[in-house]
Amino acid sequence: MAKSNNYDSGSGSGSGSGSFTDDRSAALRERFAGISESASGQIDNSPLIALGAGLALGAVLGAVLPTSTREREVLGPLGTRITDAGTSAFDRAKDMSKQKFDDMAGDKLREVLGGSSSSSSGSSKA
């Protein structure tokens, strides 16, 4: 019981603490108003950076928030098509890069070994 008395009978816990929280509220409001004005000025000065930051924030929120059943129903087929198209494009790019690498490596190998220069570059050794 002695503990509850210590908390209840603190000196200056009357109207003085109310003005302290009012002062803190006013200070916080003032501080956030300054931050808001500063952010607004930054957006005006560099709108493309603000756009990029907004897109990044939206992507993070989209990744963090769970999808709803309705989103899965409406966007599911579109997501499947996009995934399939992306996978197909990636596979084609991978095959083309392998082919180009093999061509370049073959040309370099023939050059190093001193073989015939029948490469597609048309350069010949004298």
What's the whole-model pTM score? 0.34
pLDDT tens, position by position, 63-94 = 898 888 888 888 888 888 999 999 999 999 99
Q: For residue range 34-53, what is the model confidence (pLDDT) as tens digits?
A: 887 887 787 788 888 888 99
Report whether pLDDT(19) > 50. yes
8 Å CB contact between 120 and 104: no
Q: Is the dihedral of CA 93, 98, 104, 107 positive or negative?
A: negative
